[in-house]
Amino acid sequence: MITPIKQKDTDAILKNVKDTSEFKIGGCVCVCNGETCECNCNCNCTYKNPEKPEDKRALKFVLSVLVFIALLQGNRAMAQSPNEQLVMSFEIGYSQVSVLSEEQRSGRIDALTGATPQMIKSYLPDSVYPSAVNAFLVRTPDKNILIDAGYGRKLFDHIQSLDLATEDIHIILLTHMHGDHIGGLLRNEAIAFPKAELYLSQPEYDYWMSDQAMQASPDRRNGFLQARKVIAAYKDKLHLFTPEAEPAAEPPTNTLLPGIRGIAAYGHTPGHTAYLFESEGSRLLIWGDVNHAMRIQMPCPDVTYARDSNPAQSVETRKRILAYVAAKNIPIAGMHIAFPGIGDVISTGNGAYAFEPYCLCLGF
């Protein structure tokens, strides 16, 4: 387990940052003047010693050593290419969460359904939207927990960069079984994480193991075969569960693991699941593919994605979860949210929402 950067070390690094007039980090262009940096990623940040955790709703970000070295080496501004792989770590209570960004990319409007010309003009004037392929690693005092596995192209490098080996992963939680979420579970046709227990919702398992469902979707046959290969490989380590139907249930109706709840987020796939983490009063919802096109699906939650298995259900799920996290001030993280992939959901009224990604210019 890596050790978070100490405050005195952070102060020294931030001094170098604020002395740089302009730099790029994680897709944000930041312009700094004295103690204030303004970034084009919809966030403004002023450097002050973060003495009160509640200043960021008890969620304190700590950039990993890897990112600091890559972006601040030699006190120079260093640009990020669109496909640069990034890792960022932060704390939630006693746990440390790392964003493992495998790919930064753009999505096209032809992958969306229900977007009117006026919506496109307002929110996607260039006909594309920022997207990504992310996985997440949660390190508790006694367990290392991987949430999804991306394509697996950079996953193992990311894990190694955090001073961990694949044998150090104890638990894997799957949001669903599309190829860009399970690709890293096998390596050279063998189990990639030999000591990990795999958790998957029962409805998701039932869908991918259904011959009838596969026959009904011949264009997705390879996806079914890939999912079944993963299930077969991990069959002795597989734990099936039924997610909680309502995230607002207090107390939890069915805690999956200590400090972790599986929340039904059906619609993108029949068993799609979000995971709510809680530690020392801090919470984070890793919501998988609840949203794909943040730029338009936040203000217009009725817009759906082409690969949603049940578009109407995906809309209901999106509205329910957006309302919940906005009301409860729970930060969210997503597998297709552009780096850093984490931030706050803000209600803007009339069923519309805005996403405020956490500032990267100061590292918290």
CATH number of 265's domain: 3.60.15.10
* Whether the predicted pLDDT of 363 surpasses 50: no
Query: What dihedral do alpha carbons 332, 333, 335, 338 form, nearest 10°?
Result: 100
**From CA 115, how far away is CA 340, in angstroms rounded?**
26
List, in sequence order, every residue forming a beta bridge with 132; answer none if it has no partner: 104
Own/partner contacts of 8-15, CB < 8 Å, gap of 24 or more, are: 10/62, 10/363, 10/364, 11/49, 13/68, 13/72, 13/363, 14/47, 14/362, 14/363
Tell me how crowded residue 43 is: count the other CB atoms within 10 A of its CB.
19
Dump pLDDT digits (tens) for 134-151. Answer: 999 999 989 999 999 999
pLDDT at 42: 45
Residue 285 counted as domain residue: yes
pLDDT band at 28; cut points 50, 70, 90? low
Residue 63 resides in a domain: no
Residue 280, in any domain of the structure:
yes
- pLDDT at site 88: 80
- The listed range with the strongest mean pLDDT (20-34, 162-176, 236-250) is 162-176
| 8-state DSSP, 2 | P
How far, in Å, are 146, 224, 339 from residue 88 at the CA level? Answer: 14, 32, 9
Q: What is the mean pLDDT of the chain?
A: 81
Stretch among 96-105, 184-193, 215-224, 229-238 having the lowest mean pLDDT: 96-105
- 313 occurs within a structural domain: yes
Residue 113 lies in a domain: yes
Q: Per-residue pLDDT averaged across 248-276, rounded? A: 88
Whether 43 shows a pLDDT value over 50: the answer reads no
Domains: count for the chain: 1
Provide the percentage of residues in the chain whose pLDDT is more than 90: 64
Asked if pLDDT for residue 329 goes beyond 80, the answer is: yes
> Which residues 6+ apart lie within 8 Å of 215 measured at CB?
none
Phi, psi of 356 (to 5 degrees): -115, 100
| Residues facing residue 104 across a β-bridge | 132
Look up the domain containing 188 and give its range.
Answer: 82-357
Q: Residue 118: inside a domain, yes or no?
A: yes
pLDDT category, 211, cuts 50, 70, 90?
A: very high
Residue 280 has pLDDT above 50, yes or no: yes
In a domain, 28, yes or no: no
Residue 179 falls inside a structural domain = yes
Closest CA to 225 of 236, 212, 209: 209
Which position has the higher pLDDT, 212 or 358?
212
Close Cβ partners of 257 (under 8 Å, ≥ 6 residues apart): 171, 199
For residue 90, the model assigns a pLDDT of: 80
pLDDT band at 17; cut points 50, 70, 90: very low
